[in-house]
């Protein structure tokens, strides 16, 4: 007897169980809204300066 064939079918391995509320392409996080590397670097430097000052 092949016990692997009994029961409910297994879901796909790579499929998420549910949708995230902040997934790409939603109102909170629209597609194409990623910052460039230069913008991220400038933001990191500004945060470091602010932390250093106070």
Cα separation, 29 vs 22, whole angstroms:
6
Q: What is the pLDDT of residue 50?
A: 95
Tell me the per-residue pLDDT of 14-51, one tens digit each, with 9 for 90 and over. Answer: 877 788 777 777 777 777 767 789 999 999 999 999 99
Q: What is the pLDDT of residue 22?
A: 75
- The C-alpha atoms of residue 7 and residue 20 are separated, in whole angstroms, by 29
What residues does each domain of the chain span?
19-54
Decide: pTM greater than 0.85. Answer: no
Per DSSP, 3 falls in state: G
């Amino acid at each position: 007897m092949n016990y692997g064939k009994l029961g409910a079918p297994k879901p796909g391995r790579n499929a998420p169980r549910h949708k995230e509320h902040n997934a790409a392409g939603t109102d909170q996080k629209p597609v194409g809204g990623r910052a460039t590397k230069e913008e991220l670097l400038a933001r990191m430097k500004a945060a470091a300066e602010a932390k250093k000052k106070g």
